[in-house]
Amino acid sequence: MPKAVLYNANGDRVGDLDLSEQVFGTPVHEALMHQAVVRHLANQRLGTADTKTRGEVQGSTRKPWRQKGTGRARVGSIRTPLWRGGGIVFGPHPRKYTQALPKKMRRLALKSALAARAGAGDVIVIEEFAITEPKTKFIAGLLKTIEISAGAMLVTGERQLLLERVTNNLPGVWCTPADQVNVYNLLAADKIVFTRGALDRLGEVLADA
């Protein structure tokens, strides 16, 4: 059964906690995690790049000169792509880069990422983040106490706006509710700190996966 170190709200280690076998004990599917990460990054793309074709650029539609007898190359419009200021051939146009992934595959990829991080010892559990005032030094000190020197993702059962505010000043540290955790963030974080409430909520989200 996968385990994680358990800390109290003050950052004192109180023992080890058995993690859910259903959530953190799934076999790791690397190919599926890769597919989920590619989908996540693709869905962030705006797809707003655009170029004008010869029918969209400004310019007269009059033939610049007669077809024959001038000694120059024949041309029918100053909007031709061969001329400076003319239209663009096969240029980019607004499009959607979004990719679909079945719900079962998304959840299996999420379980795989959780199992991989838990197996590597990167999952930490804390009783709760007992923060009552918007001071970044409290979270910074707590992370230092539980020996997190680099970045970390703090996962809570419900959204905590105060915690989000104080973590904004810590580079590489961010806060997210359990029902918004995704594969990309799980793999990008150096350490993942769950509250007990987050573990319960995560179990509910992935119960039927």
CATH of the domain at 30: 3.40.1370.10
Q: What are phi and psi of 114, to 5 degrees?
A: -65, -40
- CA–CA distances in Å: residue 124 to residues 11, 78, 80, 154: 11, 66, 62, 10
Say whether both 40 and 132 belong to one domain. yes
Whether the CB-CB separation of 164 and 196 falls below 8 Å is answered with no
Neighbours of 25 (CB within 10 A): 15
Write down the H helix ranges in 29-181.
30-44, 103-119, 136-145, 161-167
Say whether both 37 and 22 belong to one domain. yes
pLDDT per residue rounded down to tens, the chain (209 residues): 888 999 998 888 988 899 999 899 999 999 999 999 999 999 999 999 999 999 999 999 999 999 999 999 999 999 999 999 999 999 999 999 999 999 999 999 999 999 999 999 999 999 998 888 888 888 889 888 888 877 899 999 999 899 999 898 889 999 999 999 999 999 999 999 999 999 999 988 887 65
- Enclosing domain of residue 41: 3-45+101-205
Say whether both 167 and 197 belong to one domain. yes
